Amino acid sequence: MWSLKPLISMSFKNLAVMAAFSLFIFYFILLASLFTMVDASKFLSILKSERFYFSIKISFITAFITTVISVIVAVPAAYALSRTNFRFKPAVDLFLELPLIISPIALGALLLLFFNTGAGKLIQNNFISFVYEVPGIIIAQFVTSAGIATRLIKAAIDEISPRYEFVARTLGASDFKAFSTITLPLAKNGIIAAAVLTFAKSIGEFGATVTLAGAMPMKTETLPIAIYLRLSNADIEGAAVFILTLLALGFTVTLLTRAFAKVRHG
Amino acid sequence: MVKIENLCMDIGVFSLKNIAFEIAKGACHAVLGPTGSGKTVLLETVIGIQSVKSGRVIIDGRDVSALSPATRDIAYVPQDICLFPHMSVMDNIMYGVRVRKLDTAPLMPMIDELIDFLGIRPILGRHPSGLSGGERQRAAIVRALAAKPRLLILDEPFSAIDSALREDARRLLKELYARHDITSLIVTHDIDEAYFLADQISVLIAGAVVQSGERDDIYNYPKNIAAAEFLGVRNIYDSAVESVQERSLAASFCGGYKINITCGCAQRKFSAGQKIKWAIRSEAVYILKEDSDPAGKSNCFDAEINTIYTRGKMHTVLCAVSGGAVIEIDIHDAAFNKLKLARGKKIKISLNPDSVFIIN
Q: Which residues in chain A have their CB less than 8 angstroms from residue B85's CB? A: 186
Q: Give the residue-averaged pLDDT of A162-170.
A: 93
pLDDT band, very low/low/confident/very high, at A88 (cuts 50, 70, 90): confident
pLDDT at B303 over 70: yes
Nearest to B95 by CA among B59, B145, B159: B145
Q: Where do the domains of chain A lie?
A: 41-265
Amino acid B178: pLDDT: 85
Model confidence at A19: pLDDT above 70: yes
* Whole-number percent of chain B with pLDDT over 90: 48
Residue A7 · residue A15 · CB < 8 Å: yes
Question: Do the beta carbons of residue A115 and residue A147 sit within 8 Å?
Answer: no
Confidence of residue A21 (pLDDT cuts 50, 70, 90): very high
CATH class held by domain B233-359: mainly beta
Overall size of chain B counted in residues:
360
Same fold, B2-228 and B233-359: no
pLDDT at B3: 92
Of B3, B9, B39, B33, the residue nearest B21 (C-alpha): B3
Residue A266: predicted pLDDT: 47
User: Quick one: average pLDDT of A196-225?
Assistant: 92
Per CATH, the number for B2-228 is 3.40.50.300
Q: ipTM strictly over 0.85?
A: no
* Per-residue pLDDT tens over the stretch B2-49: 999 999 999 888 899 999 999 999 999 999 998 889 998 999 999 998
Q: Which of residues 9-68 of B touch A (CB under 8 A)?
A: 44, 47-49, 68
Contact B275/A at CB under 8 A: no
Contacts with B44 from chain A: Cβ below 8 Å: 166
Minimal CA separation from B17 to chain A, in Å: 23
User: How far, in Å, CA of B167 to CA of B159, rounded?
Assistant: 12
Indicate whether A34 pLDDT > 50.
Answer: yes
Q: What is the mean pLDDT of chain A?
A: 89
A164, A170, A172: residue with CB nearest B84: A164
Domain ranges of chain B: 2-228, 233-359
Segment B107-155, tens digit of pLDDT: 999 999 999 988 899 999 999 998 988 899 999 999 999 988 999 999 9
Classify domain A41-265 by CATH number. 1.10.3720.10
The answer to whether residue B99 neighbours chain A at the CB level (below 8 Å) is yes
Q: Grade residue A2 by pLDDT with cuts at 50, 70 and 90.
A: low
In chain B, residues with a C-beta closer than 8 Å to the C-beta of A171 are: 70, 75, 95-96, 99-100, 143-144, 147
The Cα–Cα gap between A207 and A209 comes to 6
Q: What percent of chain B is predicted at pLDDT more than 70? A: 99
Interface contact B78, partner A, CB < 8 A: yes
Q: How far apart are CA A248 and CA B226, in angstroms?
A: 68
Which distant-in-sequence residues (6+ apart) come within 8 Å of A28 by Cβ? none
pLDDT tens digits, B306-333:
999 998 899 999 999 877 889 999 999 9
Q: Counting runs of H as helices and runs of E as strands, what totals does chain A give?
A: 16, 0
Give the whole-angstrom CA distance, residue B259 versus residue B158.
41
**CB-CB: which of B48, B86, B95 is closest to A168?**
B95
pTM (two decimals): 0.80
pLDDT tens across B142-164, in order?
999 998 899 999 998 888 777 77
